[in-house]
Structure 1
Amino acid sequence: MMEEQVGPVTVSIARRAIPGREADYEDWISRVTAEVCHWPGYQGVSVLRPVAATDYAYVTIYRFSTWEQCHAFEKSEERGRLLRELDGMVESEGEIKKVTGLEFWFDLPEVPAQARPSPHKMALVVTLVAYGVVMGLTFTIGPQISGLPVWLRALIMVTAQVTLMTYVFMPQATRLLRPWLFGR
């Protein structure tokens, strides 16, 4: 019997587009995003384009309010139809990770999946790292984008913050603080 999941769910899927099919894959991502945004519990989607930090894969990260709402979308006929369209567009099945709450940023390959830090430790680390990243971005790119519309500045700052936290700072902080985070 599956343990009941409580709280928001974050799913990340890493896929490599077949060379020459990148535009088709990006169009496919746009169609999936247009479909999922109407589902109950949907909280947003972020797409990271292929770079060294993503191991040259597209990474799609989507969030739902509850596990049940996420599961309903994942088992839907609409999603099944969209997944069938991936044939010949991506190299292989996507690498999928699904976590609840803050666990997304505390995933170490060498730590068993069932070993999770306490929520207050995760919240403290995320707060400190987010503060550092926001302050760093404010002083480095803030002045260069100050003339842009506020919605565009916010989009740039949030995208930079999430990318840096996900691929640079949270993995480093999690490894550095591993004894404290995962200790007994």
Structure 2
Amino acid sequence: MTDRTAADAVTAVVTRRVKPGHEAAYEAALARLQADGAAFDGYLGATTQRPAPGAAEPVYTSVIRFAGLAQWQAFEHSERRAAFAAEVAPHVQADAVWDTHTGLEFWFSPPAGTVVAQPVRWRMALVMVVVVYALVALIGGAVAALLPSVPAPLRLLLTIALEVALLTWWLMPRLTRWLAPWIYPRARRA
């Protein structure tokens, strides 16, 4: 995946509480949905964390990835996904909890093969402080020098827009890859 497609990728985390004794039916339906996912444009795959054997409340967590927002939305609103929801309704305790991530932690993608995917938070914060400080100092100063007649609130908006764009699509994907051994020092490789 290139930096550009990695920056555009959408990741959704779906959690469902399955009724005890209904795990096999739920897993069969889930396997069919994941197999059908390959037919959707931009589908990058899905993985599912199954509950511990004998769990009192079986909770399944699926991570679904699509190459972009349009592809994700096509899947999310598809007849196939709606049919899956109807098929599993008798087997689950409540509606699924859908969480589409676009936050800070997805700028810090773990290295390939990482088993423990939690970055060291203070290191993440330190990287962000250094990067944001540098961007504010450089871009803020450049915008102020280049556009002195533009009102300050408009210059601030332009500065923020440039900084967020650089962070999201250029700086953070690269820094994450370069600093991965430091951000994930205890990560084990599969």
Does structure 2 retain, via aligned residues, the 8 Å contact 1:41–1:66? yes
5+ residue gaps, structure 2, are: 1-6, 133-190
2:44 and 2:67 in contact (8 A); partners too: yes
Structure 1's unaligned 5+ residue stretches are 1-5, 107-118, 135-157
Question: Identity percentage over the alignment?
Answer: 26
Question: 2: CA distance between counterparts of 1:77 and 1:40?
Answer: 15
Q: What residue in structure 2 maps to residue 110 of structure 1?
A: none
Q: Does 1:95 align with 2:97?
A: yes
* Superimposed CA distance per residue, residues 24-52 of structure 1 (whole angstroms, 9 cap, x where no aligned partner): 11101101112111100000111111149
Counterpart amino acid of residue 71 in structure 2: Q
**Residues 180 and 97 from structure 1, CA distance in 2 versus in 1: closer, same or farther, beyond 3 angstroms?**
same
Q: Please give the TM-score of this superposition, normalised by the length of structure 2.
A: 0.55
The counterpart of 2:87, out of the listed 67, 85, 88, is 85
For 2:19, give the aligned amino acid. I
DSSP-derived class of the 1:87 partner: helix
Given candidates 119, 123, 132, the residue that maps to 1:177 is: 123
In 2, Cα distance between equivalents of 1:61 and 1:45: 5
The answer as to 2:70 corresponding to 1:68 is yes
Asked if the contact 1:10–1:104 (Cα under 8 Å) also holds between the matched residues in 2, the reply is: no
Shift of the 104–85 alpha-carbon distance from structure 1 to 2, 3 Å rule, reads: farther
* Structure 2 CA distance for aligned equivalents of residues 178 and 24 of structure 1: 41
1:63 partner letter: R
> In angstroms, what is the RMSD of aligned CA positions?
2.7
